[in-house]
């Protein structure tokens, strides 16, 4: 059984290296997203360059393609809530540099294979030690610990014991108040959500506010 990522593409390495440098990514939950390029640039201006747009937002593949074509190379764009190999294929075809699952869907192995065939990084979701073990055996480049709020930083620290080489990324309930604790517990990076990208700010195109939120989140990590 393999316990380390099989993917050594330059693009996948860039994703992990950017996460390690910024210590954060943002998952965007929005009912609609009219200007994904402006959103990504606003986040990057605040110091968070890795952005996960999800399949819960209508028209995801079009949004990914728009960001890939227009946002610039410093934006690392990916697709979240990936549940099937077909979704994985559509996302990487649209320019996603990484794929994220909320857990271990039945097609997890196919999602990893699809992402790696395109050179993309794959971050599989898990919560328990057994799920982390499964994710790593499937070749995940990193493992998203979700929902992180359920068991907190101590759980992440406990997982680091048997899995010291696995890149763990807590998601769900991480904010400026607790993000540093997750990093101290051994996280590669933490996932910011609506505390940085509030749906109302997206709807009203309050890009300066989102930049401020991102910068505040980054500052809290230190």
Q: Residues with Cβ < 8 Å from 104, sequence gap 6 or more?
A: 124, 125, 126, 131, 134, 135
- Provide the 8-state DSSP code for 82: -
Whether 52 is a known active-site residue: answer yes
CA distance 138 to 73: 29
The H or E element containing residue 211 is: helix 207-221
Whether 144 is a known active-site residue: answer yes
CB 168 within 8 A of CB 187: yes
CB 60 within 8 A of CB 83: no
CB 172 within 8 A of CB 210: no
Active-site annotation holder among 107, 110, 144, 204? 144
- The catalytic residues are 52, 144
């Amino acid at each position: 059984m393999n316990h380390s990522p099989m993917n050594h593409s330059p693009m996948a390495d860039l994703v992990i290296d950017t996460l390690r440098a910024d210590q954060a990514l943002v998952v965007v939950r929005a009912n609609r997203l009219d200007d994904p390029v402006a959103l990504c640039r606003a986040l990057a201006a605040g110091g968070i360059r890795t952005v996960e747009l999800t399949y819960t937002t209508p028209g995801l593949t079009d949004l990914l393609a728009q960001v890939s074509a227009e946002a610039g190379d410093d934006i690392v764009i990916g697709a979240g809530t990936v549940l099937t190999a077909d979704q994985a294929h559509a996302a990487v075809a649209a320019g996603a540099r990484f794929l994220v699952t909320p857990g271990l869907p039945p097609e997890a192995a196919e999602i990893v294979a699809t992402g790696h065939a395109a050179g993309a990084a794959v971050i599989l979701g898990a919560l328990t030690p057994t799920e982390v073990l499964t994710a790593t055996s499937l070749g995940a480049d990193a493992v998203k610990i979700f929902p992180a709020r359920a068991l907190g930083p101590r759980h992440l620290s406990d997982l680091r014991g048997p899995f010291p080489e696995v890149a763990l990324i807590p998601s769900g309930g991480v904010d400026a108040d607790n993000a540093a604790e997750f990093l101290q517990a051994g996280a590669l990076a933490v996932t910011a959500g609506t505390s940085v990208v509030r749906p109302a700010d997206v709807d009203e195109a309050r890009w300066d506010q989102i930049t401020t939120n991102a910068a505040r989140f980054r500052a809290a990590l230190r």
